[in-house]
Structure 1
Amino acid sequence: IISTTAPLPTHAGKLILTSLSLTDIIPAEIAAVSFLPAIMSSVIRSVGSALGDELECLFSAFSPWFYALKLPSALTAAVELLVVGAVNVTIPGPKEASPVFDAFVSYSLEFAFFPDFAGNASAPNKFSDNLLANLGNLQGVRPYIRVGGNTQDYALYDESLPYAVNGTYDLARSKDYPTTIHIGPSFFESYSTFKDTKFTHGFNLGLGGNRSEGWDTLKATVPLACKAIGKDNLDVWEYGNEPDLFSTSAQGPVRPSSWNETIYVEQWLNGTRETAAVLAEACPDFPKPVFMAPSNAGTANRLRAPAQWAAGLNTDDNVALFSTHNYISGAESPGVTLRGTLMNHTRTVQSVQAHVKEYANLTGRFDDVPPHIYGEHNSLYNQGKPGLSNSFGAALWGVDFNLYAASQGIKRVHMHMGTDYRYQSWQPVHTNITALGTKAPYYGNIAIAAFLAPSKSSPTTPVSVAHVPVPSSNQETTSAYAAYHGDTLSRILVINLNPHNSTVNGTGTTPDPDSNPVRGVKVYSFAVPWADDAFANVRRLAANGSDAISGVTWDGWSYNYELDEGKPVRLGNVTIGETAIVSGGRVTVAVRDSEAVVVSPVLGCRAKRRL
């Protein structure tokens, strides 16, 4: 983003500032800039003495570490940058923000792989539990877990099975999960391993609605599920996953071409009423069962939510959450790229708005529509694409997508995961395909949770999220959000979605010795209602580049398995403790290409600088 009236000379794709005053690039009213030392040491190659004096004046006034750079007092030719400029941004007020549920950051775990993620009573998965605890410590409530997905509609119960899951793969249908599945009694032990966690258990409508063994599975597993979960740890139930694809699924249709909304609702009501009857007998202390529904895969498939509602989906007044699923594109869809598909705010807006419009249609026609959630979503359907869905760029996409959804009224998001899935936030067990470990998208989840953290002064006040508009010329590559607690602006988050590759061919695996060492920077100036001369904390979600699949940090913290089994470890080689200064009602921050930053006012004795 360039803010200048003078033409700027370029060379080899870089911007060269030679004789321009700094005020030609950064307006004079911007009084505080926070740069990482690593940025400046790589960006500032050499500078004429006059321009160097201006740089020193600007950065030493507002960044205490500036003198630690030990720049020569007389520097020579020019400043070499990719793109440096200033963007003035106005933040919407609290009335334009949308409140979110507790545990906004939540997960959907593929039914067949739930025991991998959770373990069982004798061998709980402590790694998964640590990662969930990290998020709970930040957002105030541990993520809710929905156990479902395609495999919930393949799972039949076998009382004699001596282990949790017996799955058979049909590679013509899916190479990523089994499509013939039996579960045994020990499957339900996995509900005991995550403490203080609320669950949704998905029952089988795919086979339960039209086959006797599926119906028998429903009646046999309702008692097992309710006793394993317990009423205090139950969120809602679910009956059927993505029924809008039952007659067209690429993994094999489970309904004829005559499948429609009326037939679906008849079968759904039949199964949910049976669930209620069995539950009343097996777990009489449970409240009347409520469900997330309809759990459609999209907004334009064979079944449509408005027609499902009109057919009587909520006849029994037991749909507690309007659940839809979202994938921004497919792993094998033509033209899918990191820059054009995931690190593209315009694509994110278009994807979410399709669901927002559908929900507005529903609420405009019916008066019994419950709150809207994403019961399942992630980057690219068919379990993600290597080099895209497991990259740091996907982590930045996740921050953007989830917070934009929050700003548009979607109350909670369940990011989907399964063993060996490319878009997973972590791999829960070792396999011959994927190493156990924390993946790049998890760090994006952490950044969201930190951004939505409860107010320390008023921890029970709900958090609301507003989408912050940016200049039209940068709407694809920049996104920003404001978090409010009541009428108080608590935090700002800004994402620079410009790609920056650091590995050979952008694969994320081999460092590129010939990669361009210069990394672009954008400077954002936000008008804020914070006190002048006050400090603001600056925390960064960072990696070597958008193509990185490791080496990711949040505010200097690593959550890697090999350090402390997923618990937070502060790294010594990452800059932390950055601050900016509020001046003239504005706070200004520099954000590198492929980076996200959270800015929040410093409270207490450190709030004001000493002049």
Structure 2
Amino acid sequence: MLPVSLLLLAASCLPWARAVTVYGVQGPLQVATGSAGPTLVYTSDTAAGTAVFNPVNFTGPAAFNPIILAPPPVPSPPPPMSFPINLPQNAQNMPGLSIPQKGSFFGFSMEMSVINQFIPFLNLISLLAERAGSVHMRVGGNTQETATVVPSLEGGRVIQKDKADSTNPTETPALLISLEMLYMMSNVSSLVNIQWYLGIPFNDTNHLRLQIAEYAESILGDNILGFQVGNEPDLYPGHGHRPNWWNQTDYFDDFGVVVDAVNNDQLIPIKGSLIAPSLSGNWTPESIWDTGFIPAYTDALGYLSVERYPNDNCAAAFPEAGFGPPIDPQTIFADYLTHNAGKSIVDDYTDTATVAQQAGKPLLMFETNTASCGGFPGISDSFGSALWLIDYGLQMAYANFSGALLHIGGQDVSYNPFNPPQTNQSSFQQWTVGPIFYGMLAIAEALGTSNTSQVVDLFQNSNNEFTPGYGIWENGQLARLALINYITDPTGQSDYTTTITIGGMQWNEVNATPALLKVKYLSAESVSVKENITWAGQTLGNRFEVDGRFSGDEDVQTVSCEQTTNTCFVTVPAPGFALVFLSDGAFEESTPSSTQTFPTTAVTKTMNTATVPSSVLATSNGNAGSQRTKNISSTSKGSSGAMHLAGGVPGLAVLAAMLAATLSVSAVLR
């Protein structure tokens, strides 16, 4: 299937066209350009279970890159494909359980400079809120450091960017924020249960700008969770925000300046909600705790925070900044497809999690994703990223983090969980959901809405890195199992089967193995693909097809357990994720009977609101276009003049007739 937009289809028919930007490539595509224009040729690599496509001349936004990597081979030797899972029913009999976790554990971190691009996402966030109870969202990032609040901006703008700072390696723009941003956030919270973290500028403690906190308290009220002070302060010297000699002690002192200012600001009535230190990993958290940071500022702190990415793509994103040679995503793809990927990050914060518990402060992974500087094309937007996120997120929950925020940037990044269409295509294209968003939905359902879920790493299958799993106890009772298979193997030989037993004599419990299990699967052909992904048989749609609502019939598998042996057999495909519900109550809690949806067109969108189903466009090649020389009407409002093209004009009159018969209302998210 090759979804192509109407305009691109028309452009490809014109005699002067020599290149066509193609989105939504699910299979491999070779492009050969000749005098007659581009020729598109499909190939297939069935042995690998997917197609490989890596065009060298793609110039579109990274958010829509068509790169598809080769999946890693089946491990040699392969892990065992059948193994037991024996667990107690009662949480008190299970050692090592996490603190109680919320379904809203995974939220979003959004760059302040792109909030106006991503806020119109009500249907997508509604899906998550129904499963998690609420959604936590941070608006900040690097752009919060240079932000200034103003009463209004010309033309009713929400934000306005100044030119990028050429001395900053990440080229972060200075930012003006109007109060419209906060009113917009408040309006969204009135429709969907979203609470917010906001960033306070920290680049200049001699001239603090606390207006964002002052206005937020009055406009957002109880929907404000806290205010971050300093985004990755350990990178300040390198980014030019502080002199080279600035260190942890200097940070301690500067943070104190903000604490005093907030405490003395009568327009910030709620105290004790600051978030820090939000280190990137350049400094260790222990080096901050050693300054006496927590006891000195305990009354001001609402949360402790860190930020961490497993890798970076900065050399490719900023080739002039001296980061060294860029990383080839294909060479590191396999690193993300193992239990060690998330665990190796989380292990660095085991001591900090203990410190946070002792201090009575929630610990947040305040910003994370597959790789900093925009992620890796082909990794960050692959099905593998969804499996990675589920494993990483549940590992953080097990390690006693209290929440994590998945970062969202502009359209120049590959890791966004969702993307609006480009502005000049929003009249005929819809949104695009990244595979990683499916991972967030899966985590929300795994943790449920009771806010009592306790997580444990099962170290199953002899702690095999390709077949990890987690147990989740809710209200003191085993409720769900989360099982992952990182392997891609279209033969089916790497699908693994678990033999599940609950309770029994080994736990000094009566046998509690249920008669029936329900299982939801997150499925795709390969860890490499970007489309045709399903959660319990349903999909949000492929690229430029998403209106924020699931389509297709829900497919929940029912497993009958062996009553004579008190065992249940659950198979996890390669690749895939299985969420196993051990009671009807756990299933019903995680499965919304209905989800609130919102109109998907704006009242200001009165022209060009029709789209063509991509399945129609994919097979409508415009026969005999070169033989037709008819006049072509304009598609622009107010322009009725016909255009006559000599020397062969495509049959757009026939195309228009076809469109008239197949029009559907555009579902562009607004």
When residues 564 and 477 of structure 1 are mapped into structure 2, their CA distance, relative to the original with a 3 A threshold, is closer
Pick the aligned partner of 2:260 from 273, 294, 297. 273
When residues 236 and 314 of structure 1 are mapped into structure 2, their CA distance, relative to the original with a 3 A threshold, is farther
Question: Counterpart in 1 of 2:307?
Answer: 325
Pick the aligned partner of 1:393 from 384, 391, 395. 384
When residues 412 and 302 of structure 1 are mapped into structure 2, their CA distance, relative to the original with a 3 A threshold, is closer
Structure 1 unaligned regions, length at least 5? 1-42, 44-81, 119-124, 501-515
Letter in 2 for 1:205: F
Question: Counterpart in 1 of 2:578?
Answer: 597
1:97, CA displacement in angstroms? Answer: 1.6
Question: Counterpart in 1 of 2:29?
Answer: none
Pick the aligned partner of 2:537 from 556, 560, 585. 556
* 1:88 equivalenced with 2:84 (yes/no): yes
Question: Counterpart in 1 of 2:141?
Answer: 149
1:544, CA displacement in angstroms? Answer: 1.6
Q: Partners of 2:420 and 2:259 in 1: how far apart?
A: 32
Tell me which moved more, 520-529 or 172-181.
Answer: 172-181
Pairs within 5 Å for 1:365-404: 367-368=358-359, 370-404=361-395
Tell me which moved more, 397-406 or 430-439.
Answer: 430-439
* 1:490 equivalenced with 2:490 (yes/no): no
Pick the aligned partner of 2:280 from 297, 300, 308. 297
When residues 536 and 273 of structure 1 are mapped into structure 2, their CA distance, relative to the original with a 3 A threshold, is same
**Contact preservation (8 Å) 2:380, 2:415:** yes
Question: Counterpart in 2 of 1:312?
Answer: 293
1:399, CA displacement in angstroms? Answer: 0.3
Question: Counterpart in 1 of 2:626?
Answer: none
Question: Counterpart in 1 of 2:55?
Answer: none
1:576, CA displacement in angstroms? Answer: 3.7
Tell me which moved more, 461-470 or 393-402.
Answer: 461-470
Q: Secondary structure at the match of 1:424?
A: coil
Question: Counterpart in 1 of 2:244?
Answer: 257
Question: Counterpart in 2 of 1:7?
Answer: none
Question: Counterpart in 2 of 1:424?
Answer: 416
Question: Counterpart in 2 of 1:521?
Answer: 495
Question: Counterpart in 2 of 1:469?
Answer: 459
1:203, CA displacement in angstroms? Answer: 0.7
Deviation digits for residues 248-306 of structure 1 (CA, Å, limit 9, x no counterpart): 2xxx321111111121121112113212333x2x35xx4324112111112xx246444
Question: Counterpart in 1 of 2:130?
Answer: 137
Question: Counterpart in 2 of 1:452?
Answer: 447
**Contact preservation (8 Å) 1:87, 1:523:** yes
When residues 405 and 580 of structure 1 are mapped into structure 2, their CA distance, relative to the original with a 3 A threshold, is farther
Letter in 1 for 2:197: T
**Contact preservation (8 Å) 1:94, 1:487:** no
Letter in 2 for 1:528: I
Question: Counterpart in 1 of 2:658?
Answer: none
Q: Partners of 2:80 and 2:348 in 1: how far apart?
A: 34
Question: Counterpart in 1 of 2:111?
Answer: 110
Deviation digits for residues 475-510 of structure 1 (CA, Å, limit 9, x no counterpart): 22111011111321101110001135xxxxxxxxxx
Q: Partners of 2:370 and 2:200 in 1: how far apart?
A: 25
Q: Secondary structure at the match of 1:130?
A: helix
**Contact preservation (8 Å) 1:107, 1:415:** yes
**Contact preservation (8 Å) 1:427, 1:438:** yes
Deviation digits for residues 15-63 of structure 1 (CA, Å, limit 9, x no counterpart): xxxxxxxxxxxxxxxxxxxxxxxxxxxx9xxxxxxxxxxxxxxxxxxxx
Tell me which moved more, 417-426 or 150-159.
Answer: 150-159
Letter in 1 for 2:220: I
1:160, CA displacement in angstroms? Answer: 5.3
**Contact preservation (8 Å) 2:458, 2:469:** yes
Question: Counterpart in 2 of 1:579?
Answer: 559
* 1:235 equivalenced with 2:217 (yes/no): no
Question: Counterpart in 2 of 1:343?
Answer: 337
1:539, CA displacement in angstroms? Answer: 0.9
**Contact preservation (8 Å) 1:244, 1:304:** no
When residues 564 and 153 of structure 1 are mapped into structure 2, their CA distance, relative to the original with a 3 A threshold, is closer
When residues 176 and 297 of structure 1 are mapped into structure 2, their CA distance, relative to the original with a 3 A threshold, is closer
Q: Partners of 1:580 and 1:451 in 2: how far apart?
A: 21
Letter in 1 for 2:140: G
When residues 498 and 392 of structure 1 are mapped into structure 2, their CA distance, relative to the original with a 3 A threshold, is same
**Contact preservation (8 Å) 1:417, 1:425:** yes
Q: Partners of 1:576 and 1:181 in 2: how far apart?
A: 47
* 1:356 equivalenced with 2:323 (yes/no): no
1:404, CA displacement in angstroms? Answer: 0.9
Pick the aligned partner of 1:183 from 173, 177, 181. 177
Q: Partners of 2:572 and 2:492 in 1: how far apart?
A: 14
Q: Partners of 1:152 and 1:327 in 2: how far apart?
A: 19
Tell me which moved more, 266-275 or 543-552.
Answer: 266-275
1:406, CA displacement in angstroms? Answer: 0.5
1:534, CA displacement in angstroms? Answer: 0.4
**Contact preservation (8 Å) 1:348, 1:401:** yes
Q: Partners of 2:196 and 2:562 in 1: how far apart?
A: 43
**Contact preservation (8 Å) 1:419, 1:428:** no
Q: Partners of 1:389 and 1:435 in 2: how far apart?
A: 21
Letter in 1 for 2:307: H
Residue-pair matches, total: 475
* 1:438 equivalenced with 2:433 (yes/no): yes
Pick the aligned partner of 2:205 from 206, 209, 222. 209
When residues 171 and 224 of structure 1 are mapped into structure 2, their CA distance, relative to the original with a 3 A threshold, is closer
When residues 384 and 224 of structure 1 are mapped into structure 2, their CA distance, relative to the original with a 3 A threshold, is same
Q: Secondary structure at the match of 2:194?
A: coil
Q: Secondary structure at the match of 2:444?
A: helix
**Contact preservation (8 Å) 1:97, 1:407:** yes
Pick the aligned partner of 1:412 from 403, 416, 422. 403
**Contact preservation (8 Å) 2:110, 2:407:** yes
Q: Partners of 1:410 and 1:106 in 2: how far apart?
A: 13
Structure 2 unaligned regions, length at least 5? 1-48, 50-77, 316-325, 504-510, 589-670
When residues 552 and 338 of structure 1 are mapped into structure 2, their CA distance, relative to the original with a 3 A threshold, is farther
Question: Counterpart in 1 of 2:215?
Answer: 224
**Contact preservation (8 Å) 2:148, 2:177:** yes
**Contact preservation (8 Å) 2:453, 2:475:** yes
1:546, CA displacement in angstroms? Answer: 0.6
- TM-score normalised by L of structure 1: 0.71
Percent identity for Structure 1 against Structure 2: 22
Deviation digits for residues 215-251 of structure 1 (CA, Å, limit 9, x no counterpart): 2xx1333322222211x21111111111111112xxx
* 1:97 equivalenced with 2:77 (yes/no): no
**Contact preservation (8 Å) 1:327, 1:379:** yes
What root-mean-square deviation, in Å, do the aligned CA atoms of Structure 1 and Structure 2 show?
A: 3.1
